[in-house]
Amino acid sequence: MFHTADPDEILSGKITDVYFERALKILNAKKINPVVRAEFIAKGLPEGWPWAVFAGMEEAAYLMKRLPVRVRAMREGTVFYPYEPVMEIEGRYRDFCVYETAILGLVCQASGIATKAARIKKLAGGRPVVSFGARRMHPVLAPMIERNAYVGGCDGVAVVKSGEIIGEDPMGTMPHALIICMGSTIDAIKAYDEVLEPRFPRVALIDTFLDEKFECLNVAEAMGKRLFAVRFDTPSSRRGNFYRILEECRWELHLRGYDHIRFYASGGIKEEDMPGLNPVVDGYGIGTSISNAPVVDYAMDIIEVEGKPLAKRGKWSGSKRVLRCPKCGTGKIVPNVAGSYKCSCGKKFTDILIPVLDKGKQLMKAETASEIRKRVIKNVRNLTLE
Ligand SMILES: [Zn+2]
């Protein structure tokens, strides 16, 4: 058997830390069930990130729409900062107590992946980025990981099922195994060209048997104009100076008139590698950096009980509004009472914590992964990474 929960176990509250189950037992015995509001906030972000992208809400709403609670949240793909609540649940505590573990898990991991993807996409400076990291994680998570990599900004995903979820064709080139089975890089790209539908770009992997430079020239000569790109997946033990390898290959191809051939780089590429590689790379396959992104450590805290502000030490009590200036992006957190606020730039703030669910009724309009992705790319355009 796979060591994973099935969806019914998540929806029935079985994926819970046992202390919630015990708390529920005690509250039931004592007939205590206050109406509370609980917020989800991150007091800090991993790796010194100055901002993060909220994600995982579609799945969290799928879980919470079965519960008699009201939910306000940021839309998926909203950029947020530490201390801004990203979500607030209002309801009788016993009705949602055992779901805290699962809801946090849904938004913590998704937000980490979406944020990492947004950072990588920014670093790629307009070059396409494809998520290649499904193989580093439990397969049951692959579609979730790649969906969030895509909404964060990746241009494509590698896994077939992930493609179905985001409504796009999955992307990929060829594995080393194909070349090894066929015995030659040239035979492999020729067979690729012969067998696969023309809509798949002809991309040859050129680090299997020979030096990258000579293999580049081999496939360029064999394929001519039909060759769209070459992919460098050079093992780290052979990389030396990866930039210089790519630069040299460019030079040699240019001398022979093969300027149309694009360069894709993959294989353990990290954020810090990208600015240096960008001048010689046209596109990236990014694996572990995205699929193993750090999680955003949201906590769920009760901040109001029976209409009265009340929170543990270290947390701000009371329900809050999160405001954002649509012009300059300035943020503001204010108590959740009516009133309008103006930014110092003169523009009126808008609320970014908005109603999502009211006891099973969906209040926020559903968006496609592609719509969310477009918003993320636009929202992070003018942000810095440090
Ligand atoms: Zn402003």
CA distance 26 to 39: 23
By the 8 A CB rule, do 359 and 341 touch? Answer: no
CA distance 79 to 196: 40
Residue type, position 206, single letter:
I
CA separation (Å) from 140 to 7, 40, 133?
11, 25, 13
Whole-number Å distance, alpha carbon 343 to ligand 1 midpoint, is 5
Whole-number Å distance, alpha carbon 155 to ligand 1 midpoint, is 31
Whole-number Å distance, alpha carbon 333 to ligand 1 midpoint, is 14
Long-range contacts of 4-8 (CB under 8 A, 24+ apart): 4/138, 4/140
pTM of the model: 0.97
β strands within 287-337, DSSP E: 299-305, 308-309, 320-324, 331-335
Counting Cβ atoms within 10 Å, is residue 189 exposed (0-12), middle (13-18) or buried (19+)?
A: buried
Whole-number Å distance, alpha carbon 350 to ligand 1 midpoint, is 10
Counting Cβ atoms within 10 Å, is residue 132 exposed (0-12), middle (13-18) or buried (19+)?
A: buried
CA distance 150 to 276: 24
β-pairing, 203-205 with 308-309? unpaired
Q: What confidence score (pLDDT) does residue 216 get?
A: 97
Place of tokens 């929170």: 311
Whole-number Å distance, alpha carbon 73 to ligand 1 midpoint, is 22
By the 8 A CB rule, do 288 and 308 touch? Answer: no
Q: What confidence score (pLDDT) does residue 107 get?
A: 98
Going residue by residue through the chain (386 aa), what tens digit of pLDDT does each one get? 999 999 999 999 999 999 999 999 999 999 999 999 999 999 999 999 999 999 999 999 999 999 999 999 999 999 999 999 999 999 999 999 999 999 999 999 999 999 999 999 999 999 999 999 999 999 999 999 999 999 999 999 999 999 999 999 999 999 999 999 999 999 999 999 999 999 999 999 999 999 999 999 999 999 999 999 999 999 999 999 999 999 999 999 999 999 999 999 999 999 999 999 999 999 999 999 999 999 999 999 999 999 999 999 999 999 999 999 999 999 999 999 999 999 999 999 999 999 999 999 999 888 999 999 999 999 999 999 99
Whole-number Å distance, alpha carbon 43 to ligand 1 midpoint, is 23
Q: What confidence score (pLDDT) does residue 78 get?
A: 97
CA distance 294 to 111: 9
CA distance 223 to 231: 15
Whole-number Å distance, alpha carbon 74 to ligand 1 midpoint, is 19
Say how far residue 232 (Cα) sits from the centre of its chain.
Answer: 24
Q: What confidence score (pLDDT) does residue 203 get?
A: 97
Whole-number Å distance, alpha carbon 330 to ligand 1 midpoint, is 5
Whole-number Å distance, alpha carbon 348 to ligand 1 midpoint, is 8
Whole-number Å distance, alpha carbon 331 to ligand 1 midpoint, is 8
Q: What confidence score (pLDDT) does residue 156 get?
A: 96
Q: What confidence score (pLDDT) does residue 274 get?
A: 98
Ion ligand 1: residues, CB within 5 A, are: 325, 327-328, 330, 343, 345, 347
Q: What is the DSSP string of 141-181?
A: GHHHHHHHHHHHT-SEE-SHHHHHHHTS-------HHHHHH
What separation, in Å, do the N-terminal and C-terminal C-alpha atoms of the chain show? 43
Whole-number Å distance, alpha carbon 39 to ligand 1 midpoint, is 26
Whole-number Å distance, alpha carbon 189 to ligand 1 midpoint, is 53
By the 8 A CB rule, do 298 and 73 touch? Answer: no
309 Cβ neighbours under 8 A, 6+ residues apart: 303, 317, 318, 319
Say how far residue 64 (Cα) sits from the centre of its chain.
Answer: 21
Helix (H, G, I), strand (E, B) or coil at 247: helix
